């Protein structure tokens, strides 16, 4: 029975901030429910899977950034013992597909477009045979002129990656609301600057991985390390030219993703090889190829012009962004458009204009990375505001309080800010960090200088235009005759603790003890459809569907309790796994009752079904329309020390305050914030994919420097959560994944400026740039 939730019913439940609500399961520090298998090493990830008869797949990648494939000779490679199949562009369909722009083929038969592009794929009985076969494939390349810088790629004389794409522009985004020119002309303060954000790598510890196995009924099962089981099923069916129903996707434990684990060529190649050989095929990237052909962050050059009144009121924002798409389109166009206009719902802008070009270059295709373009723009906007405050003697806290959005505000793009504790986030961060006292401290006499910087952030909790057909989620909660509840969702826990959040939501809504609730691994043959882990949507949209399913289950449970125990529904209360009847002293356990009920129903489980479809819309041609059911906000304050002799900046303390709507699990929220802050700090202070003539020079963890425990603040990362009680989120909850990172690079850049007066406008903030800045001061 399909349960269609009543939208708005939630409003009565969420009393909003200020009113204390009593919860049995929420707001506590609950260790993740799948922690035992992780801590014992028993948790299985895709690279741990073994299927009988499994072949090992490997991919031959281009050693040139742009080259015509004159000849691909596999005759010697085919003779290697153990080689079962080798595919090249000539052997596979050349139909085009892709997540946003149909510029993907299974394997190209004409040319390769980046250093690392897929040329051929091998399936063999051992890793060794597959590797040997790769080394024997003879490819004749005709090297073509290549272009690496997005701005140069737009020039008339630049070589084209795709003949039909003029000036190498994949997509252009344009938005204009109000009258920017007029507002700028009337501004007492006009500020203009260019910022650059570099290309960085998600560096999840488990590389991209797939096992594809042909099954019964001519179907194919794929075990994927993915953030989007349901969506990738649709896309891979399109790539393989089969019906999506003939694909079964299973997502076991996933070793991190951070935006990278979306549609991926190696998954498709594993599927093609499995179908051709009739055998299971394992395809796991080694770390170098994961670096060379992953889905790194979209690099951006951001020109920004801001107009303000003398008192700091923001009057106009004009931006122009050139974003690197890489050699084929993953999600960069959506990331560019996000950078163009999502921040317009952080401040009460009335006049905004933005143009964003997503440009092809002969480099690694770029895609989602925690923050999705909004992080890039936060670096520009929040750095710019800091500089303006410095130049015009304005208070960086007050300017944000003065211009920041407030509850009930509808932005110039039609985004409806229902819950919002942005102002309170600023207040809390200022208080906890002793901001004003620290600002008054005199400069250190030693060569090591301290500094403090602030940045605020917004984000979405679901993004309607990401998947054109719809946004929403569905869930099932099954109560077994043994009294255990299992949550089935298509939303993908990739290590954030979402499955635990879902279990807590279900336990709270039904009245169960969370120890008796678990969330099943995603299996598209069983789990309902879930778009997946992106847009900070899991807790809000996926969690709301789980909530609706749990409410539906509780309704059924109450009806059956009334029937079996001959009571009226109003006489029954369920709490923490106990059932209370108002005319009876002692409660009975849910486990006992459900067994009794189940025996009257042929042994069945009770299954609650829930659907959540947010009342969001696809933005119209003017980019107007509310895209998300809820918007999270936050304020970060970074305290750094900068050694003026070495140029090295490092974190001293960090305060992160977030409006999360409602705390579902305090422990995993803190985990998200601490992880997001360190990921942002790594980006701000050193991570960089160094590319020369299209070749990545540092495709390993020795040369690509990720933060280690030694890079954590000398003091601590302090996190605080404010509960604004959103009307759409389950129990009022909004997301945390991406907002935890968005303001980090700017907060650190502003703190570095405060420490030594050096403004770094192009990430990362390296010792060289700081020393250079100090020398030219």
Partner 1 sequence: MSGSNNAQAGQMAISFKLNAKEYNLTISANERLLDLIRNRLGLIGTKEGCGGGECGACTIIMNGQAVNSCIIPAARADGAEILTVEGLSGGMENELHPLQKTFLEKGAIQCGYCTPGMLLSAKALLDQNEGKEISRELIKEGISGNICRCTGYQKIVDAIYTYARERKGIE
Q: Which stretch binds partner 1 (CB under 8 A): 238-246, 249-257, 616-624, 766-774?
A: 249-257
| Binds partner 1 by CB under 8 A, chosen from 605, 712, 762, 766 | 712
In whole angstroms, how close is the CB of 500 to partner 1 at the nearest point? 10
> Based on CB atoms, which residue is closest to partner 1, 53 or 408?
53
> Based on CB atoms, which residue is closest to partner 1, 411 or 672?
672
Query: What's the rounded Cα separation, in Å, for the pair 122 and 109?
Result: 16
Q: Which two tokens stand for residue 509?
A: 């809504």
Regarding 445 and contact with partner 1 (CB under 8 A), the answer is no
Q: Cβ(729)–Cβ(420) under 8 Å? A: no
Q: Cβ(198)–Cβ(763) under 8 Å? A: yes
Q: Cβ(621)–Cβ(686) under 8 Å? A: no
SS3 assignment, position 134: helix
Query: What's the rounded Cα separation, in Å, for the pair 168 and 191?
Result: 30
Regarding 102 and contact with partner 1 (CB under 8 A), the answer is no
> Based on CB atoms, which residue is closest to partner 1, 647 or 699?
699
β-pair type (352-360, 314-326): parallel
Q: Which stretch binds partner 1 (CB under 8 A): 156-164, 237-245, 612-620, 699-707?
A: 699-707
360: number of Cβ within 10 Å: 30
β-pair type (633-643, 606-612): unpaired
> Based on CB atoms, which residue is closest to partner 1, 8 or 715?
715
In whole angstroms, how close is the CB of 291 to partner 1 at the nearest point? 10
Regarding 351 and contact with partner 1 (CB under 8 A), the answer is no
- Sheet architecture: strand order including 189-197: 169-177, 352-360, 314-326, 300-308, 189-197
For 225-290, strand residue ranges (E) read 247-251, 281-284
Q: Cβ(500)–Cβ(34) under 8 Å? A: yes
> Based on CB atoms, which residue is closest to partner 1, 214 or 255?
255
In whole angstroms, how close is the CB of 185 to partner 1 at the nearest point? 45
In whole angstroms, how close is the CB of 756 to partner 1 at the nearest point? 25
Query: What's the rounded Cα separation, in Å, for the pair 155 and 89?
Result: 30
In whole angstroms, how close is the CB of 43 to partner 1 at the nearest point? 5
Query: What's the rounded Cα separation, in Å, for the pair 213 and 220?
Result: 6
Binding mask 189-208 for partner 1 (x = CB under 8 A): -------------xxxxxx-
589: number of Cβ within 10 Å: 14
Q: Which two tokens stand for residue 750?
A: 């502003």
Query: What's the rounded Cα separation, in Å, for the pair 580 and 584?
Result: 7
> Based on CB atoms, which residue is closest to partner 1, 243 or 709?
709
> Based on CB atoms, which residue is closest to partner 1, 44 or 398?
44
SS3 assignment, position 555: helix
> Based on CB atoms, which residue is closest to partner 1, 126 or 573?
126
Question: DSSP state, 715?
Answer: S
Question: Rounded to whole angstroms, what are the CA distances from 499 to 149, 513, 514?
Answer: 41, 15, 12
DSSP code string of 689-701:
--EETTEES--ST
| Binds partner 1 by CB under 8 A, chosen from 17, 25, 26, 32 | 32
Instruction: Write out the binding residues for partner 1, residues 716-775 only, by CB under 8 A.
Output: 716-717
Q: Which stretch binds partner 1 (CB under 8 A): 338-346, 354-362, 389-397, 709-717?
A: 709-717
Residue 764: asked if its preceding bond is cis (omega within 30°), the reply is yes
> Based on CB atoms, which residue is closest to partner 1, 133 or 549?
133
Q: Which stretch binds partner 1 (CB under 8 A): 18-26, 268-276, 472-480, 703-711?
A: 703-711
In whole angstroms, how close is the CB of 266 to partner 1 at the nearest point? 16
In whole angstroms, how close is the CB of 224 to partner 1 at the nearest point? 15
Q: Which residues, at least 6 apart from 741, have a Cβ–Cβ distance to it below 8 Å?
A: 370, 371, 375, 676, 677, 679, 680
Query: What's the rounded Cα separation, in Å, for the pair 252 and 48?
Result: 10
Binding mask 33-52 for partner 1 (x = CB under 8 A): -xxxxxxxxxxxx-xx----
| Binds partner 1 by CB under 8 A, chosen from 1, 710, 775, 777 | 710
Regarding 643 and contact with partner 1 (CB under 8 A), the answer is no
In whole angstroms, how close is the CB of 700 to partner 1 at the nearest point? 6
Instruction: Write out the binding residues for partner 1, residues 122-181 only, by CB under 8 A.
Output: 126, 128, 132
151: number of Cβ within 10 Å: 14
Query: What's the rounded Cα separation, in Å, for the pair 634 and 636?
Result: 7
Instruction: Write out the binding residues for partner 1, residues 647-676 only, by CB under 8 A.
Output: 667-668, 670-671, 674-676
User: How many residues belong to the site for partner 1 (CB under 8 A)?
Assistant: 60
Dihedral angle of Cα 385, 389, 390, 395, to the nearest 10 degrees: -130
| Binds partner 1 by CB under 8 A, chosen from 495, 528, 610, 764 | 495
> Based on CB atoms, which residue is closest to partner 1, 676 or 729?
676
| Binds partner 1 by CB under 8 A, chosen from 303, 706, 759, 767 | 706
In whole angstroms, how close is the CB of 676 to partner 1 at the nearest point? 7
Instruction: Write out the binding residues for partner 1, residues 250-279 only, by CB under 8 A.
Output: 253-256, 258
| Binds partner 1 by CB under 8 A, chosen from 75, 286, 391, 573 | 286
Q: Which two tokens stand for residue 156?
A: 């008339």
Query: What's the rounded Cα separation, in Å, for the pair 561 and 540?
Result: 31
Dihedral angle of Cα 146, 151, 157, 162, to the nearest 10 degrees: 60
> Based on CB atoms, which residue is closest to partner 1, 237 or 664?
664
Q: Which stretch binds partner 1 (CB under 8 A): 151-159, 188-196, 490-498, 575-583?
A: 490-498
Task: Read off φ and ψ for residue 571, nearest 5 degrees.
Answer: -85, -5
| Site residues for partner 1 per CB under 8 A | 29, 31-32, 34-45, 47-48, 80-81, 126, 128, 132, 202-207, 253-256, 258, 286-287, 494-497, 667-668, 670-671, 674-679, 700-702, 706-710, 712, 716-717
């Amino acid at each position: 029975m399909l349960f269609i939730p009543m939208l708005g019913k939630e409003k009565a439940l969420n009393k909003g901030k200020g009113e204390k609500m009593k919860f049995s399961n929420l707001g506590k520090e609950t260790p993740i429910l799948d922690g035992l298998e992780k801590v014992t090493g028993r948790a299985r990830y895709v690279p741990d899977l073994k299927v009988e008869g499994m072949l090992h797949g490997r991919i031959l990648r281009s050693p040139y950034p742009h080259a015509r494939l004159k000849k691909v000779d596999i005759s010697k490679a085919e003779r290697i013992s153990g080689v079962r199949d080798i595919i090249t562009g000539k052997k596979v369909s050349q139909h085009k597909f892709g997540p946003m722009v149909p510029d993907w083929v299974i394997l190209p038969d004409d040319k390769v477009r980046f250093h690392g592009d897929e040329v051929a794929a091998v399936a063999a009985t051992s890793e060794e045979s597959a590797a040997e076969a790769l080394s024997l494939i003879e490819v004749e390349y005709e090297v073509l002129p290549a272009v690496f810088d997005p701005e140069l790629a737009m020039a008339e004389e630049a070589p084209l990656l795709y003949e039909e794409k003029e000036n190498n522009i994949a997509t252009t985004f344009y938005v204009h609301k109000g009258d920017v020119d007029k507002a700028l002309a009337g501004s007492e303060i006009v500020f203009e600057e260019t910022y650059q954000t570099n290309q960085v790598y998600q560096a999840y510890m488990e590389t991209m991985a797939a096992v594809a196995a042909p099954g019964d009924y001519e179907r194919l099962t794929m075990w994927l390390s993915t953030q989007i089981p349901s969506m990738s099923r649709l896309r891979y069916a399109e790539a393989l030219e089969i019906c999506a129903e003939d694909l079964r996707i299973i997502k076991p434990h996933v070793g991190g993703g951070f935006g990278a684990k979306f549609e991926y060529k190696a998954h498709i190649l594993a599927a093609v090889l499995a179908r051709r050989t009739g055998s299971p095929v394992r395809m796991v990237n080694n770390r170098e190829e994961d670096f060379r052909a992953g889905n790194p962050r979209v690099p951006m050059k951001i020109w920004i012009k801001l107009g303000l009144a003398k008192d700091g009121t923001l009057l106009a924002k004009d931006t122009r962004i050139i974003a690197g798409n890489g050699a084929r389109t993953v999600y960069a166009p959506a990331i560019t458009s996000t950078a163009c206009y999502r921040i317009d719902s952080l401040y009460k802008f009335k006049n905004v204009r933005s143009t964003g070009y997503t440009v092809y270059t002969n480099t690694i295709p770029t895609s989602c990375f925690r923050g999705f373009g909004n992080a890039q723009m936060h670096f520009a906007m929040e750095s710019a505001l800091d500089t303006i405050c410095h130049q015009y003697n304005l208070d960086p806290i007050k300017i944000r309080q003065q211009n920041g959005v407030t509850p009930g505000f509808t932005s110039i793009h039609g985004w409806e800010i229902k819950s919002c504790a942005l102002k309170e986030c600023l207040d809390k961060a200022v208080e906890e960090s002793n901001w004003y006292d620290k600002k008054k401290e005199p400069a250190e006499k030693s060569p090591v200088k301290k500094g403090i910087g602030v940045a605020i952030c917004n984000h979405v909790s679901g993004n309607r235009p990401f998947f054109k057909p719809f946004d929403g989620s569905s869930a099932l909660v099954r109560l077994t005759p043994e009294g255990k509840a299992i949550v089935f969702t298509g939303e993908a826990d990739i290590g954030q603790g979402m499955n635990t959040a879902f279990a807590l939501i279900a336990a709270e809504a039904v009245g169960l003890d969370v120890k008796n609730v678990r969330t099943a691994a995603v299996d598209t043959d069983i789990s309902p459809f879930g778009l997946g882990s992106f847009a900070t949507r899991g807790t809000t949209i996926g969690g709301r569907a789980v909530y609706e399913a749990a409410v539906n289950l509780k309704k059924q449970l109450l009806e059956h309790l009334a029937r079996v125990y001959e009571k009226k529904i109003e006489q029954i209360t369920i709490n923490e796994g106990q059932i209370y009847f108002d005319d009876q002293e002692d409660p009975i356990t849910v486990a006992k009752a459900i067994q009794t009920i189940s025996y009257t129903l042929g042994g069945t489980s009770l299954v609650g079904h829930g659907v959540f479809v947010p009342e969001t819309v696809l933005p119209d041609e003017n980019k107007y329309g509310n895209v998300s059911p809820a918007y999270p906000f936050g304020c970060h304050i970074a305290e750094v020390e900068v050694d003026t002799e070495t140029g090295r900046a490092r974190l001293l303390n960090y305060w992160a305050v977030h409006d999360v709507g409602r705390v579902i699990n305090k422990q995993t929220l803190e985990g998200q914030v601490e992880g997001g802050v360190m990921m942002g700090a790594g980006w701000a202070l050193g991570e960089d994919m160094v590319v020369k003539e299209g070749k990545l020079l540092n495709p390993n963890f020795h040369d690509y420097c990720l933060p280690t425990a030694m890079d954590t603040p000398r003091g601590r990362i302090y996190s605080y959560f404010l509960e604004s009680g959103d009307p759409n989120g389950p129990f009022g909850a909004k997301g945390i994944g991406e907002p935890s990172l968005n303001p980090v690079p700017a907060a650190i850049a502003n703190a570095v400026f405060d420490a030594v007066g050096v403004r770094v406008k192009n990430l990362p903030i390296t010792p060289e740039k700081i020393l250079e800045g100090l020398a030219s001061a």
